[in-house]
Structure 1
Amino acid sequence: MKISELLIEINYHLRQAGFINDADELKNFCNILLDKKLAADSHNAILIEIAMRCHVKWLGDYYPPHLSQKDWWEKLENLNRATKKHMRRI
């Protein structure tokens, strides 16, 4: 799954759970990543910001009621792995 697809999926779950500010923030990050004119340094900085949010003490602290904790953490881990993979390609 592409990083943008993962961001959209997590954004959806955050919105469903009422975490609108965090969802908006991830949506902005996704829009920035899709900008083909973005410099590599800026691209990496956004990826780092996204990866930091995948931590158990950030978005992992949230519990969307429609997902199990295991499913939520798995989604965040998938996003974290995707950001690191994307950074290695830049």
Structure 2
Amino acid sequence: MAIKTRSYSVDGKCVMTIDEFKRWLKKFDEDRDGKIRRDELADAVRVSGGRFARRKSKRGIRSMDDKGNGFVDEIEIKNLAEFAEKHLNVRILHL
């Protein structure tokens, strides 16, 4: 389940809008609750070619989870997009 989007940048990063990123991320929401758990984020990291998926997902959830509930929800998606730009070889276009 690779990141499928319309283009790649010169530096090889996958380029997508925030809406495309949300749609892609929903594919990893196994229980369809609208929240991304650590293991679901680890799957996204692994599928996108990232290394150390468990460690990155743990660090990612900790840094993105403003509410401290162990999930990243719709409100915290901006934090997750920033994480993806740093760790998932993605460039998010904020249109």
TM value normalised by structure 1: 0.30
Structure with bigger strand share is 2
